[in-house]
């Protein structure tokens, strides 16, 4: 277990990167995991042409896995084109966490990505030409 709750994960939990909210976000989205009450909100600021993430922040509360993996995800996607975000998958998040998770805990780890993708999807639907 120490291999899961190891230094890197605990560090992201205790010192979350990109933690907070953005004042002029292009989109914000929030969801919770009904099973355990983990809750994550993501605020995203995009470039002028809407193709790239220029600033991102998350807030919320919940277990270490959900909050630390959201923090890792923020670092991963900040500055990236949104096409990269759309390509992110379950395994990419599990790779970031870097330690085996039981089935029940995978949901916790994936909440941040789920929120980001759902928010981005809604933004793209709302901004179709």
Partner 1 sequence: MEDMIKSLDVARIRQDFPALNERVNGRPLVFLDSAASSQKPVQMLAALEQAYRTSYANVHRGVYYNSERTTDLYDQARGKIARFIGAPAPENVVFVRNATEALNLVAYSYGRHFLRAGDEILLTELEHHANFVPWLVLARERGVRLKFIPLTPQGTLDLSKLDELLTPRVKLVTFAHVSNVLGTITDPKPIIDRAHAIGAKVIVDGCQAAPHMPVDVGALDCDFYALSGHKMLGPTGIGVLYGKAEVLDAMPPFMTGGDMISNVSFDSVSWNDAPVKFEAGTPAFVEAIGLGAAVDYLAALGMDAVRAHEREVVAYALDRLSEVPGATVIGPTDPDIRGGAVAFTIKDIHPHDLGTLLDREGVAIRAGHHCAQPLHTRLGLTATARASFYIYTELREVDALIEAIYKAKQVLRK
Applying CB under 8 A, which part among 44-52, 71-79, 85-93, 103-111 lies near partner 1? 103-111
Listed in sequence order, the residues at least 6 apart from 9 whose beta carbon sits closer than 8 Å to its beta carbon are 64, 65, 68, 97, 98, 99
In the complex, what is the shortest distance from the CB of residue 94 to partner 1, in angstroms, rounded to a whole number? Answer: 15
Find the shortest distance in angstroms from Cβ 39 to partner 1. Answer: 8
Strand order in the sheet with 38-46: 27-33, 38-46, 53-61
Does 108 bind partner 1 (CB under 8 A)? Our answer is yes
Written as six digits, the tokens of 13 are 């939990």
Site for partner 1 in 1-20 (CB under 8 A): 1-2, 4-5, 10
Instruction: Tell me if 36 contacts partner 1 by CB under 8 A.
Output: yes
Closest approach of Cβ 111 to partner 1, in Å?
Answer: 12
Helix (H, G, I), strand (E, B) or coil at 124: helix
| Rounded distance between C-alpha atoms, residue 13 and residue 31, angstroms | 19
Side-chain-side CA neighbours of residue 81 (13 Å): 5
Within positions 37 to 66, which residues make up the interface with partner 1, using CB under 8 A?
Answer: 37-38, 61-65
* x-marked contacts with partner 1 along 59-98 as a string, rule CB under 8 A: --xxxxx---------------------------------
124 neighbors 50 (Cβ within 8 angstroms): no
Binding residues (CB under 8 A) for partner 1: these are 1-2, 4-5, 10, 34-38, 61-65, 102, 104-105, 108
């Amino acid at each position: 277990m120490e291999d899961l709750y190891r230094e890197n994960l605990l560090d992201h939990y205790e010192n979350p990167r990109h933690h907070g909210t953005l004042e002029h976000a292009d989109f914000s989205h929030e969801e919770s995991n009904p099973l355990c009450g983990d809750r994550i909100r993501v605020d995203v600021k995009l470039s002028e042409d809407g193709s790239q993430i220029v600033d991102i922040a998350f807030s919320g509360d919940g277990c270490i896995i959900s909050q630390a993996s959201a923090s890792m995800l923020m670092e991963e996607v900040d500055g990236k084109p949104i096409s990269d975000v759309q390509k992110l998958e379950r395994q990419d998040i599990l790779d970031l966490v870097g330690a085996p998770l039981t089935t029940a805990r995978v949901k916790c780890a994936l909440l941040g990505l789920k929120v980001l993708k759902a928010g981005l999807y809604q933004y793209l639907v709302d901004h179709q030409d």
